[in-house]
Amino acid sequence: SKTLRLILGDQLNSNHSWFQTTDDSVTYVMMEVRSETDYTSHHIQKIVSFFSAMQNFAKELQSKNHQVIYFHLSDANNFQSFDKNLNYLIEKENFSHFEYQLPDEYRLDELLKNFCQTLVISYSTVDSEHFMSSRKELGDFFEGKKNFLMESFYHFMRKKHNVLMQGDKPLTGKWNYDDDNRKKLPKNHKPIPPLVFDNNVSEIVTEINKTNIKTIGTIDAKQFVWPTTRAQSLALLDFFVTECLSLFGSYQDAMTPNEWSLYHSRISFSMNVKLISPLEVINRAIEEWKNRPDEIAYHQLEGFVRQIIGWREYVRGIYWHKMPEFATMNYFDNQEKLPDWFWTGKTKMNCLKDSINQSLNFAYAHHIQRLMITGNFALLAGVHPDEVDAWYLGIYIDAIEWVEITNTRGMSQFADGGIVATKPYVSSAAYIDKMSHYCGSCFYKKAVKTGDKACPFNSLYWNFYDKNEDKLGKNPRIGMMYNVWHKMKPEDKVALLQQADYYLKNINDL
Ligand code: FAD
Ligand code: SF4
């Protein structure tokens, strides 16, 4: 009998039990296909990093004597979709059994399930052996509960995996150290330059250009900065724990112009394609903290561990619990288009200019830029969540639907009506100024609410609350804002709403 095993582009887990033995009757297949490059407009660096990592992974498997069939993008026999290529191979090579790892994306899960229904040969599925919770675990955990509080799921995960625990109590007695984190960068603080790679990816870039795939953003093909192998991913993780972890928590929410990475790990791509696993990531961080307790404070470590075994596992659980409905949610019934400058960075708003330009240049922005700059603006501007999702799904190196949509539609746009977040993440200029150095050199004035140079965030913020009072007015976490709004002088309210209206009508000129 002959078995065909499919490896998807985000299943590059060399520690998977599949690969622990070689077997002449087993063939692996990997494919670069147009159905994946074209389901949204991706950043060129995103396509390149996937294909490059896939090619390296295939070579690694071959060097370990596994049999691998690899479809390159412009191969003559490439039918450009998983099912067509699989059918072609199964027939041509007479495979008698088909296997795949459970995908992380709903779309591919359905596609492969349906494909298997059409097969005349036998088939089976296996786990991807990457996550620390199963698809169903979050749904089971919150069964019968009204809220899906991340914090309680995080406690459950800490206990389940015995991470930073003392018996059944959190080490140090406290679960969460966010109060010690979230500082602005000191004025003349120069963050450590990020570790970047200089991968030559010219061949892939040429192939992508030749096939006329529509992409966004820029790339330096001779010095591609992202890791494309497990060894590079581990080097990046090592750089993070040795150089950045000691300040990670403190400056996790800080933003400053022309610094694209700060103390963030930038391991989301490596983890999302499974070159490295969440368990080895947190173990490496904990080991470093144990080795250098005087240099790495516990709150820096806890903040990092929470992102990985808390947030990351949590959003995945929400995804499987709420899809496919989740992808259609639009709580505020927002209908606007994204401003054109989301694709060019050409806006006078310094915070958005910086965050968008760095996204176009590096396919990366850190969490607070995604949440409190671009996401905040899109929500205040009433942009349709489909538009917002498409942008985030395309532009970021780490964007795969399970983690993109839950963060974007859920956490950032509140389109799920409060499944992921307990209140919308919106702010005026005050918060942006508190966490960043963007406002000082901006065309707009952070403290001005109406008139010529008024910061758009200020009027759009009040306009958002006013417009959505029927949906938010009863939320206890927002009550205070409505008190402020209601107490404002009527003429001030009118001026703010008029200003917002003017900005919304001229949004492409901001
Ligand atoms: P660090 O700041 O160093 O954090 C360490 C790790 O924690 C990350 O690599 C990531 O794996 C995990 N993590 C932290 N926050 C989250 C979170 N909210 N959800 C899931 N994992 C988290 N992350 C993606 O991986 N893909 C996406 O497509 C994506 N889209 C996002 C869209 C929006 C609107 C927002 C607000 C957030 C999004 N995130 C996404 C979450 C987060 O911003 C990124 O994981 C993070 O910025 C990646 O950079 P890093 O590796 O340097 O992270
Ligand atoms: Fe952004 Fe307003 Fe600050 Fe300018 S003034 S950087 S637009 S928050």
Q: How far is the CA of 383 from the centre of ligand 2 (A)?
A: 19
Question: Are residues 192 and 78 part of one domain?
Answer: no
The proportion of the chain whose per-residue pLDDT surpasses 90, expressed as a percent, equals 96
Residue 282 has pLDDT above 90, yes or no: yes
Any domain includes 132: no
Q: What is the pTM of this model?
A: 0.97
pLDDT per position as a tens digit, 358-414: 999 999 999 999 999 999 999 999 999 999 999 999 999 999 999 999 999 999 999
Q: Which ligand is nearest to the CA of 312?
A: 1
Question: Are residues 289 and 385 part of one domain?
Answer: no
Any domain includes 426: yes
Determine whether the shortest distance from the Cβ of 350 to ligand 2 is under 6 A: yes
Q: Which amino acid is at 24?
A: D
Radius of gyration of the chain (CA): 24
Q: How far is the CA of 443 from the centre of ligand 1 (A)?
A: 30
Look at 188 and 237; give whichever has higher pLDDT: 237
For residue 180, the SS3 value is helix
Atom of ligand 1 nearest to the CA of 393: 28
Determine whether the shortest distance from the Cβ of 398 to ligand 1 is under 6 A: yes
ipTM of this complex: 0.99
DSSP tally for the chain: helices H, then strands E: 23, 9
The pLDDT of residue 178 is: 82
Q: Which ligand is nearest to the CA of 369?
A: 1
Q: How far is the CA of 111 from the centre of ligand 1 (A)?
A: 26
Residue 316 has pLDDT above 90, yes or no: yes
> C-alpha dihedral over 408, 411, 416, 420, to 10 degrees?
140
Average pLDDT, the chain: 96
List the structure tokens of 81: 């979709």
Residue whose tokens read 């670069």 = 32
Residue 180 has pLDDT above 80, yes or no: no
CA nearest to 409, candidates 432, 427, 385: 385
Domain that holds residue 85: 3-126
Residue 213 has pLDDT above 90, yes or no: yes
Question: Are residues 282 and 162 part of one domain?
Answer: yes
Helices (H), 14-79: 34-37, 44-63
List the structure tokens of 305: 């561990």
Judge contact between 26 and 377, C-beta under 8 A.
Answer: no
Determine whether the shortest distance from the Cβ of 399 to ligand 1 is under 6 A: yes
Atom of ligand 2 nearest to the CA of 433: 3
Question: Are residues 452 and 353 part of one domain?
Answer: yes
pLDDT per position as a tens digit, 452-463: 999 999 999 999
Nearest residue (CA) to ligand 2, atom 8:
429
Arithmetic mean of pLDDT, 255-277: 97
Q: At what angle do helices 456-467 and 479-487 cross, to 10 degrees?
A: 100
Q: How far is the CA of 366 from the centre of ligand 1 (A)?
A: 7
Question: Are residues 280 and 170 part of one domain?
Answer: yes
Dmax (CA) of the chain: 80
Residue whose tokens read 């065309």 = 443
Any domain includes 407: yes
The pLDDT of residue 179 is: 78
The full DSSP string for 315-338 is HHHHHHHHTTGGGG--TT---BPP
The pLDDT of residue 182 is: 84
Any domain includes 207: no
CATH number at residue 302: 1.25.40.80
**Would you tell me how many other CB atoms lie within 10 Å of the CB of residue 410?**
24
The pLDDT of residue 181 is: 79
Last residue of a domain, one of 80, 103, 126: 126
Residue 508 has pLDDT above 90, yes or no: yes
pLDDT per position as a tens digit, 44-89: 999 999 999 999 999 999 999 999 999 999 999 999 999 999 999 9
Question: Are residues 499 and 357 part of one domain?
Answer: yes
Last residue of a domain, one of 104, 126, 148: 126
For residue 99, the SS3 value is strand
pLDDT-based confidence at residue 147 (cuts at 50, 70, 90): confident
Task: Quote the distance between the C-alpha of residue 372 and its chain's center.
Answer: 14
Residue 184, sorted as left (phi over 0), alpha (psi -120 to 50) or beta, turns out to be beta
Any domain includes 58: yes
List the structure tokens of 455: 């910061």
For residue 196, the SS3 value is coil
Determine whether the shortest distance from the Cβ of 381 to ligand 1 is under 6 A: no
